[in-house]
């Protein structure tokens, strides 16, 4: 009788761990639904031709994929913790572990193979330049990046010749040899943006064009920004890692408690100990 009471005192499922893990997953489950909703809405508002043209660089698709994966993972965590289901909780743990390891591997590979990563970024930017006019979301994203980093194009402002509208070969186009207005030098006194300020800039050399637009490419500006904001990036990485580690700790703790409770029940059934 003494052994059973001792086992009962130390083998139980903590409601604190159980419901904290449930609320933890519920918060991210709601966030995943919001991400999927935004992605679906953004996707539905696009023209079909434009959407297919730049499928690989569509931010809406990225939101839908991330939101769906987060939904499935947190669903396992929510139901697993609420129902005390070891299978769902282990699935939740495995998914979090895989995601954490992938993030860690990507960070290490990006640091070790920085030159190849730079080349990949250049490919993405060039592909985005080609489809600049095909997707409004992509266009706004590029314009935002060029304004924030005070840059133009990937390597230089002449990268915009890859776009069919800004290419210098078609003299019939009004935008021939132009660059987007987000490349232009804007003074603080200007209240109205001149969207035609980039016209004909590709015909000028770097010194002449520098009087009107940013001539530096966005890749160099991005690399410089990364080097000068390493602490910020480290904080972001830590902010992404902490929730995953907390989820792993809570789920592993709950799994162990459930296993202990099952073992206790099996022990009691096997020995049929009289509680009195």
3-state secondary structure of 12: coil
- pLDDT value of residue 33: 92
> Which value, to the nearest 10 degrees, does the dihedral of the CA atoms of residues 61, 67, 70, 71 take?
-120
- Fold classification of 116-226 (topology level): Cd81 Antigen, Extracellular Domain; Chain: A (1.10.1450)
For 67-79, the pLDDT digits (tens) are 999 999 999 999 9
Average pLDDT estimate for 29-36: 92
Residue 132 has which token pair? 């600049």
pLDDT at 224 over 60: yes
Region(s) of the chain under CATH 1.10.1450.10: 116-226
- pLDDT value of residue 47: 53
């Amino acid at each position: 009788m003494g052994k059973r009471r001792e086992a009962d005192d130390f083998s139980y499922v903590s409601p604190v761990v159980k419901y904290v893990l449930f609320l933890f997953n519920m918060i991210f489950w709601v966030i995943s639904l919001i991400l999927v909703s935004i992605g679906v809405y953004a996707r539905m508002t696009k023209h079909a031709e434009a959407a297919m043209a730049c499928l690989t660089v569509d931010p809406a698709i990225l939101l839908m994929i991330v939101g769906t994966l987060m939904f499935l993972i947190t669903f396992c965590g929510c139901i697993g913790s609420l129902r005390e289901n070891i299978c769902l909780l282990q699935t939740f743990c495995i998914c979090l572990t895989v995601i954490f390891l992938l993030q860690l591997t990507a960070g290490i590979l990006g640091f070790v193979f920085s030159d190849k990563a730079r080349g990949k970024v250049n490919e993405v930017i060039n592909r985005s330049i080609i489809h600049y006019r095909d997707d409004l979301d992509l266009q706004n994203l590029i314009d935002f990046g060029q304004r924030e980093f005070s840059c133009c194009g990937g390597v230089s402002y002449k990268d915009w010749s890859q776009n069919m509208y800004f290419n210098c070969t078609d003299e019939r186009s009004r935008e021939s040899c132009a660059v987007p207005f987000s490349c232009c030098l804007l003074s603080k006194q200007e209240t109205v943006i001149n969207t035609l300020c980039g016209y004909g800039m590709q015909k000028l050399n770097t010194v002449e064009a520098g009087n009107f637009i940013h001539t530096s490419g966005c890749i160099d500006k991005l690399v410089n920004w990364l080097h000068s904001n390493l602490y910020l990036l480290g904080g972001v990485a830590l902010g992404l890692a902490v929730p995953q580690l907390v989820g792993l700790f809570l789920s592993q703790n709950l799994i162990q408690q459930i296993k202990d409770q099952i073992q206790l029940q099996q022990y009691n059934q096997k020995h049929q100990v009289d509680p009195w």
